[in-house]
Amino acid sequence: MHSSHAQAKDQIEILKGEVRKMLIHAVDKSSQKLNLIDQIQRLGIAYHFEIEIDQLFEKIHRSYFEFHYGNDDNLHTAIHKGMPRLEARRYIPLYQEDPSHNEVLLSLAKLDFNLLQEQHQKELGNLTRWWMDLDVETKLPFARDRLVEMYLWMSGVYFEPKYGVGREMLTKVAIMVSIIDDIYDVYGTLEELELFKEAVERWDIDAKDGLPEYLQACYKIILDLYDEIGYEMKNQVRAYFAEAKWFHQNRVSTMEEYMPIALATSALEVLPVTSLLGMGDIVTKDVFDWLLDSDPKMAKAVKFEQERGHGPTSVECFVNNLELPRKRLRRSSVTGGRRVEGH
């Protein structure tokens, strides 16, 4: 088993060298260069050639700009918005059926996909053992088992082999955020939720003594998992409690009250911060400062949350405060979406 794994890795390195030559010595015609890049991206192997692809894009852009002075086209728009590994799985057999397919690209794509899938399966096995050891089914029977779902989501954040530790850590964080969300949305009483919030803010194992048994179990799991990111988790639980309080009081908050709470309960802070922790030396303090100081620009889902008995959304707060019809918000949503994408 170990021998075949090593042989596959050696073969991948050989094929990567051949593909690099193809990129470096690509034909002069821009359409053919772009077609080569498109094939590499769709086959799910572009992460091996980020530098070469960027250089090729720069070369294409420079030559285009020199020929069409003043027409500043954006060549960095994503070719699709799907999950890279799923897109590769769908595209590889289609590419194989293309009579003009490149055998080197196809071989590399297949080997790379299988080897990386093997790593993902091992990570999912590690997470499954962690989940079973927690005994959530007994201690927190109301909690949804979203292990595979969350791992799939986090693989969408980064799927590359070097981010394995970060992927597992981020999945655990996402699972616990989901469990806490379930507690605050559908299970705990307001009194229990306030006790839990106070315990999390203390961040001390002795604080669990006054909690119901199910919250003691949840609290211990949180402390064990989030020792290194206690500040973020305090913000998270504090925000969930504010939402629960509004819901129990049947109160619609002002937009100013709602937005900082919503940014926390949507996990738009804790999950990105955790994802950066798993990326190693490439992440600097400046990156964390940028993430924590920036105001995330995300549109919030509305109808589904309300149908299952949620607290008021940003749309309802805005409409309630300013008495504006919902259609007036569409312009803000479109503008916000563009800002999220960096336009």
Distances from the Cα of 65 to the Cα of 53, 59, 81, 266, angstroms: 18, 10, 27, 42
Distance separating alpha carbons of residues 225 and 219, to the nearest angstrom: 10
CB 291 within 8 A of CB 276: yes
Cα pseudo-dihedral 159, 169, 268, 139, rounded to 10: 130
Nearest to 154 by CA among 175, 137, 135, 133: 175
Q: What is the mean pLDDT of the chain?
A: 75
Mention every residue, 6+ apart, whose C-beta is less than 8 A from residue 315: 300, 302, 326, 329
pLDDT tens readout for residues 145-158: 999 999 999 898 88
List domains and CATH numbers for the chain: 2-113 (1.50.10.130), 135-297 (1.10.600.10)
The maximal CA–CA distance of the chain, rounded, in angstroms, is 73
pLDDT tens readout for residues 296-342: 444 444 444 455 555 555 545 544 555 445 555 455 555 555 444 44
Query: Which range, 124-128, 168-172, 284-288, 294-298, is most confident?
Result: 124-128
CA distance between the termini of the chain = 48
pLDDT tens readout for residues 99-145: 999 999 999 999 999 999 999 999 999 999 999 999 999 999 888 89
Distance separating alpha carbons of residues 193 and 73, to the nearest angstrom: 52
